[in-house]
Chains A and B, each alone.
Chain A
């Protein structure tokens, strides 16, 4: 990734100005948040049982959504990158649709599918008396629905840009397809996989719209950090600023962890 900087021509003036404007625009809200967060309350807030419950639920649900997204999303990415089948374009469009769908719409769609009066949820409810909405599993489902496409898209592009000759070489040496996948393909796409997983997890952690419409809001069962922030904003804004800041720190942590890709060395 190392390029020589001295050979690059300077950026045209207009590009520089607009680029700087973009940086200012992206930074100011974060500065605003940091300037209003009641820093001295951090220890109290982080030991508050209610906050800890919500934080724990957020982490558990988002990690579960990440696991589900990885288990289902990596094979989907592989199919999209390596195969052509009837309806491929449709499948590709469906796989990325949740990225462009307003999350609240996604949540309502999930209700209409998996709610107790939903298309499939009704069958489940009649058979078992149990339904997904208002459960922690419902939170995981909502988060997975919204976040998995980020992993699929990233891993798919990683697979596409892979130099196929390594896999072909392994095949000529007699490796089985599973062995190639395990020992050649996956290690080679590890950076894309890690980036996709990080994006997916961050998206799941920050998920609000689909969760509130599908899983509702109950502390300890379905209330995640973003929902708590939203409600705190109505009654206790400083606590909301601080909770937001905790989310911000986590997000920055993810970016720093992925620095090769998103904070790449120039």
Chain B
């Protein structure tokens, strides 16, 4: 596996070097460091809420750098942090909260300093058309409204707890899901009336789910940091991906996916 991988990378590098002159303008547009085009696999560990936006940004990077393949591992930030600390090899880590990035930094697994590239907020997800007529967090307490939340072990769940505390609302959820996308799925399938998710999840759900805003004084802003990992086998590729995420086109993709600017 290792030697096959090296062979592929070496081969790709050779192609990259011969194609260097031709691809110079492409490289400049993506803001990659000068000194030849980058190549090889870039393995990105990213929070589940980034699934759609990062997949799209990965395609942009692959178009701009044909020698680069971006591969993703999307999961809960906590789970990803555990995998990285336990020695999983990856080039980039994008977390849905600062706490998980901090654990990875503390474990000495990050190269350089993480940068915040996006923000996210919470919203109430309701079935399309809002048949339960929910307009506030307080409405989620009603007996005729069922609600699922993210478990407090995952960032979305922790933010939810904060928002509910600020609003002075206590809920009796029917389930505490293991990631925020599962909350969205339960609402989209109509198995529960409401759930609390990120605004970015609402953008991803399309017209199956509607959103009800949570006022700023109760809402919580999640900041998303990204960093190259110390064990990165492709630091140049990692930096290219991070640059793409922070570029104008990256911001546009993130904005369309419901994220706020950093």
Closest Cβ of chain B to A164, distance in Å, is 49
The answer to whether A234 touches B76 (Cβ under 8 A) is yes
- Complex contacts, B192 vs chain A, CB 8 Å: 134
The one of A111, A112, A235 that contacts B153, using a Cβ cutoff of 8 Å: A235
Give chain A residues whose Cβ lies under 8 Å from the Cβ of B186. Answer: 216
Confirm or deny: A217 has a beta carbon within 8 angstroms of a beta carbon on chain B: yes
Asked whether any CB of chain A lies closer than 8 Å to the CB of B178, the reply is yes
Which of B117-125, B169-177, B211-219, B221-229 interfaces with chain A?
A: B169-177
Whether A115 contacts B191 by the Cβ 8 Å rule is yes
Q: Which residues of A contact B (CB under 8 A)?
A: 111-112, 115-117, 131, 133-134, 212-213, 215-219, 222-223, 227, 230-235, 237
Contact of A111 with B191 in the complex, beta carbons under 8 Å: yes
CB interface residues, B 138-192, toward A, < 8 Å: 146, 148, 151, 153-154, 173-178, 182, 186, 189-192
Q: How far is the CB of B132 from chain A (nearest CB, A)?
A: 13
Closest to A116 in B: B191
Q: Are A216 and B153 in contact (CB under 8 A)?
A: no
Contact of B154 among A222, A223, A234 (CB under 8 A): A234
Contact B174–A134 (Cβ < 8 Å): yes
User: With a CB–CB cut-off of 8 A, which chain A residues contact B178?
Assistant: 212, 217, 227, 230-231
Instruction: Name the B residues within 8 Å of A223 (CB-CB).
Output: 176
Q: Which residue of B lies closest to A132 (CB)?
A: B191
Tell me whether A117 and B189 are in contact in the complex, defined as CB-CB below 8 angstroms, given that A233-B79, A234-B82, A234-B154 are known contacts: yes
Residues of B within 8 A of A218 (CB): 173-176
- Given the complex, which residues of A lie within 8 Å of B154, measured CB to CB? 234
Chain B, interface size: which category? Answer: 20 to 34
B146 proximity list for chain A (CB < 8 A): 134
B199, CB-defined interface residue at 8 Å: no
* B79 partner residues in chain A, CB cutoff 8 A: 233-234
By the criterion CB–CB under 8 Å, are B153 and A234 in contact?
yes
CA distance A1 to B192 in the complex (A): 55
Contacts of A227 in B (CB 8 A): 178
- B:186-213 near A, CB below 8 Å: 186, 189-192
Chain B min CB distance to A163 (Å): 50
In the bound complex, residues from chain B placing their C-beta under 8 Å from that of A115 are 189-191
Chain B residues whose C-beta falls within 8 Å of the C-beta of A235 in the assembled complex: 78, 153
CB pair A233 B190 closer than 8 Å? no
28 CB contacts below 8 A, A to B, read: A112-B189, A115-B189, A115-B190, A115-B191, A116-B190, A116-B191, A117-B189, A131-B191, A134-B175, A212-B178, A215-B175, A216-B186, A217-B175, A217-B177, A218-B173, A218-B175, A219-B176, A223-B176, A227-B178, A230-B178, A232-B153, A233-B82, A234-B76, A234-B78, A234-B79, A234-B153, A234-B154, A235-B153
Residues of B within 8 A of A215 (CB): 175
**In the complex the two chains form, is A117's CB within 8 Å of B78's CB?**
no
**Chain B residues whose C-beta falls within 8 Å of the C-beta of A233 in the assembled complex:** 79, 82
A222 in contact with B175 (CB, 8 Å): yes
| Minimal beta-carbon separation of B56 from chain A (angstroms) | 25
Complex contacts, B177 vs chain A, CB 8 Å: 212, 216-217
Which residue of B has the minimal Cβ distance to A222?
Answer: B175
Bound-state Cα–Cα, A237 to B103, Å: 13
Q: Which residue of B lies closest to A236 (CB)?
A: B153
Whether the pair A231, B153 counts as a contact (CB closer than 8 A) is yes
Q: Are A216 and B175 in contact (CB under 8 A)?
A: yes
Q: Which residues of B contact A231 (CB under 8 A)?
A: 151, 153, 178
CB–CB A212/B173 < 8 A: no
User: What is the CA–CA distance of A235 and B153 in the complex, to the nearest angstrom?
Assistant: 6
Closest residue of B by beta carbon distance from A230? B178
Given A212-B178, A216-B148, A217-B151, A133 and B82 touching (CB < 8 A)?
Answer: no
- Residues of A within 8 Å of B174, CB to CB, are 134, 216, 218
Q: Which of B151, B176, B182, B191 interacts with A133 by CB under 8 Å?
A: B191
Smallest Cβ distance from A41 to chain B, in angstroms? 18
Contact A111 B176 (CB under 8 A): no
- A219, B78: Cα distance in complex, Å: 20
> Smallest distance from the beta carbon of A132 to chain B beta carbons, Å?
10
Residue in A closest to B75 when the chains form the complex, CB atoms: A234
What CA separation (Å) do A235 and B146 show in the bound complex?
Answer: 26
| A128 CA to B180 CA, complexed, in Å | 30
- Given A134-B174, A217-B177, A222-B175, A212 and B182 touching (CB < 8 A)? yes
Of all chain A residues, the one with the shortest Cβ separation from B148 is: A216
Q: Which residue of B lies closest to A240 (CB)?
A: B82
- Closest residue to A235 on the B side, CB-wise? B153
Report how far A105 CA is from B72 CA in the complex, Å: 22
CB distance from B200 to the nearest CB of A (A): 20
Taken together as a complex, chains A and B put the C-alpha atoms of A230 and B191 apart, in Å, by 23
